[in-house]
Amino acid sequence: MFWGSFVSHPDICLRKLLRAMSAGDRRTARAISLALLLWSAVASGCAGTNYVSLRHAPQNPLSGPLKLLSFQGPRATARTEQLLRRYDLSKSDVEQRLARLQDEIAAEPQPEKLYAFAELAYIGGKRAEALRNEALALDLYGASVAHAYWYLLDPQLDRFRNPYDPQFRGACDLYNGSLEAAMRIVSRNGQLLPGHTYTIRTRNQLFKVAIVSRGRWHPEDFEQLKFVSDYEINGLTNRHHTYGLGVPLIAVRRGHESEDSAEQFYPSGLSFAATAFLRVTRPPGGRDTDHPVHCVLELHDPLVGRDILVDDRIVPLETDLSTPLAYFLDSPDLKESHNIATWALLRPESASRLKGLYMLEPYDPRKIPVLMVHGLWSSPVTWMEMFNDLRSFPKLRDQYQFWFYLYPTGQPFWISASQLRDDLAGVRRTIDPRNEQPALDQMVLVGHSMGGLVSKLQTLESGQDYWQILSDRPFDELQGDGETRDRLARTVFFHPNPSIRRVITIATPHRGSDFANDYTRWLGRKLITLPELMVGLTQDVTRDNPDLFKDTGFLTINTSIDSLAPDAPIFPVMMKSRRAAWTRYHNIVGLVPEKGIVGSLAAGSDGVVAFDSAHLDDADSEITVAAGHISIHRHPKSILEVRRILLEHRVEAIAEMSRQPVMAPAGYRQ
């Protein structure tokens, strides 16, 4: 068989490629290039991307100022040393220094005393931890975080506090660093989860700390907490981190039965961002160990809010959205979807278990869904660069929730469109059975490559046009069992989804792609194996209706590559189909710069889709991006264009939704 010789002798294809290039046969050269790419991926398998790696040591902004990694061990800063000299404490040990400073703070609270106490307690905690005295270390870290908190937030010190003093940021780092260090110790004892309460006793105070969750995740959603500072991002271009108070965390989610109707749409192995903030409810002063200082360790969802209110002032949280996302992309559960891209192409039936819609954050009835639909030989992972960047814009994450659709890309795209139609209806029935949530009626679809065709078909009126590709006779004359007739009817008869307000297509072959030519289509048929049920139904319906169909080619198209051929009869019909009056269309087209061998082969295209096919005359907006087909949706210009469209849609959607009440579903928590 040819495929066997192709795998054994790719050099033959390379020679054919060079001959086609020298002869100016661009179409053949493109086809052979795609075949070589396909062979390369299948032969080598899907190389997994490592999105995060463990650091040798946790990232810590205190490492430099306090010489944490020096051979001599941590040391106080020059300003703290100056204060110690002022109170004749230069030669005292840690316990004596802290006891004396506590007396001075009780007598006359001042920011510089609180800062020195927090710094010295943190250094003492580090030394105690090095000596494996975790109990003492926890006490000292607790004292440090409390005094840093009072330095930053005690209203009695407002007239002394200077936010322009570098020591102010140092106090922020001490608060965050000592809180993280204390949390690490508690975490090792398995108590760092919502619903737990623990006690820290220092020399002069008793601290009672309760852990609670704030935001849309429920306490039972937390299986494990990990520290962002332990990880370095490798697989995402940008790390979106904001500065303030708190410890950024990776929360590994536990799947469970709950009242949340969206539970089935959360992928296994999901992790999400959280920020830990310790709220200390009583300021220092005195040695009343019988009345403990009550504290609350709050686990905040940075997607809900970037700021919190403390003593009538707004306090920004330290957040990291990208590292938890990268950690999730490295999870064993998601690795399966990395590999599913190839098998969903070559063996579509293998993706049936994972097919469907996924949410990476809690469903929020107040936010507009943006559904991202991948293209041929791909999976939702392909959207992570765009998702990571779009979610970093506060106005977008406040108004939108991002969903992802996974489907078998080896089957004809109109089959996938029919399945998405059913899945969207199923999602609506599940999360909003009474149609009471207007945000769901402002949905935006973003489709890359073939995913753009799948998305566009959600917004067209079929009429009789798609059935007439097959037959001029009425559908009622079709012979077959109920299941066969129903499957075919759902494919050729459909209405536009009333909830979809915009469709953004990126590098989409609106008129087919020259890559789907005789060579690659033949190769695709050799490689792609459709489910037996799908093939069997096609054979049965053509056998049982020998005189009904004027052209069975559309019905018997075997693969997605066949379905993308420029001569596929569906494309003229799609271009002329009546669009939903309520839907607006936006288009992004790729053009590879005409440089070098790749540029000469791909001139006037993105390397896969020609400009003439990707271009739309009647789109509400269209831009071109100097990028190839595989990378265009990760290009900054494309991401900014999607951002622009979403911001534009946001204004219109808010105005429309303000005229309708919104109902929160059962199990939803603010």
pLDDT tens, residue by residue, 106-144: 899 899 999 999 999 999 999 999 999 998 999 899 899
**Domain endpoint, select from 324, 359, 390:** 324
Are residues 316 and 199 part of one domain? yes
Confidence of residue 408 (pLDDT cuts 50, 70, 90): confident
Are residues 284 and 384 part of one domain? no
- Residue 66 is assigned to a structural domain of this protein: no
Name the nearest CA neighbour of 260 among 204, 207, 217, 320.
217
Are residues 553 and 429 part of one domain? yes
Are residues 448 and 301 part of one domain? no
- Residue 149 is assigned to a structural domain of this protein: yes
pLDDT at 581: 95
Are residues 386 and 290 part of one domain? no
| Amino acid (one-letter) located at 344 | A
Query: What range does the domain containing 100 cover?
Result: 78-324
Task: Give the whole-angstrom CA distance, residue 629 versus residue 37.
Answer: 13
pLDDT at 480: 86
The tally of domains found in the chain comes to: 2
Task: State pTM to two decimals.
Answer: 0.87
- Residue 10 is assigned to a structural domain of this protein: no
- Give SS3 for 66: coil
344 has a pLDDT exceeding 60: no
From residue 144, give the alpha-carbon distance in Å to each of 70, 76, 207: 21, 13, 12
Tell me the average pLDDT across 267-295: 77
- Residue 530 is assigned to a structural domain of this protein: no
Task: Give the whole-angstrom CA distance, residue 317 versus residue 315.
Answer: 6
- Residue 217 is assigned to a structural domain of this protein: yes
- Residue 64 is assigned to a structural domain of this protein: no
Which residue in this structure is represented by tokens 């595989």? Answer: 630
Are residues 398 and 259 part of one domain? no
- Residue 625 is assigned to a structural domain of this protein: yes
CATH number of 376's domain: 3.40.50.1820
Which residues, listed in sequence order, are joined to residue 588 by a DSSP beta bridge? Answer: 506, 623
Tens-place pLDDT, residues 224-280: 999 999 999 998 999 999 999 999 999 999 988 776 789 999 998 899 999 999 998
**Domain endpoint, select from 290, 324, 358:** 324
- Give SS3 for 553: helix
Pairing state between β 443-448 and 500-506: parallel
- Residue 267 is assigned to a structural domain of this protein: yes
Query: By CB neighbour count within 10 A (0-12 exposed, 13-18 middle, 19+ buried), where does 355 fall?
Result: middle
Instruction: Tell me which of 523 and 595 has the higher pLDDT.
Output: 595
Are residues 404 and 270 part of one domain? no
Confidence of residue 526 (pLDDT cuts 50, 70, 90): very low
Positive or negative, the CA dihedral 330, 336, 337, 338 is positive
**Domain endpoint, select from 293, 324, 355:** 324
Q: In what order do the strands lie in the sheet with 271-280?
A: 197-201, 206-214, 293-300, 271-280, 247-253, 222-227
Are residues 262 and 133 part of one domain? yes
Are residues 300 and 205 part of one domain? yes
Are residues 166 and 93 part of one domain? yes
